[in-house]
Amino acid sequence: MNDNAEAAWPIAMTAISEATAQPLESVRAFLDSRHGRHFADDVLNGLLCKAPLQDAIKQATARWMGWTIGLQTSKEYGIPRGLPCLTGFVIHCEIAEDALAA
């Protein structure tokens, strides 16, 4: 994200929190994870297609909410099958962070 990272962070935090109905602390854990880096890559793809930053984040959020957790991902991460990917990975990252802190 380079130059856009500082501006993108609060926009992404809010957009993801609103879309997933998860607290900002959970969203931060997601964005700090490797899954969050994949999300950032998706936003960057939008920017490369000349979308404004806010639109690129909105599009990535909608895309990740449209994808659902499949059988393999459910087995690998313990996320319920059929849950929107964004919601599932935000919750998963919060649980993983809590487990490391314990």
Query: How many domains does the chain fold into?
Result: 1
Per residue in 58-72, pLDDT (tens digit) is 999 999 999 999 999
Q: 1: pLDDT confidence band, cut at 50, 70 and 90?
A: low
pLDDT at 5: 86
Percentage of the chain modeled with pLDDT above 70: 99
In this predicted model, which residue has the larger pLDDT, 84 or 5? 84
Of 90, 79, 98, residue with least CA distance to 18: 90
Domain hosting 89: range is: 2-101
Q: Can you tell me which residue has the tokens 């314990």? A: 102
Distance from C-alpha of 18 to C-alpha of 96, rounded to nearest angstrom: 21
Distance from C-alpha of 90 to C-alpha of 102, rounded to nearest angstrom: 19
Polymer length of the chain: 102
pTM of the model: 0.93
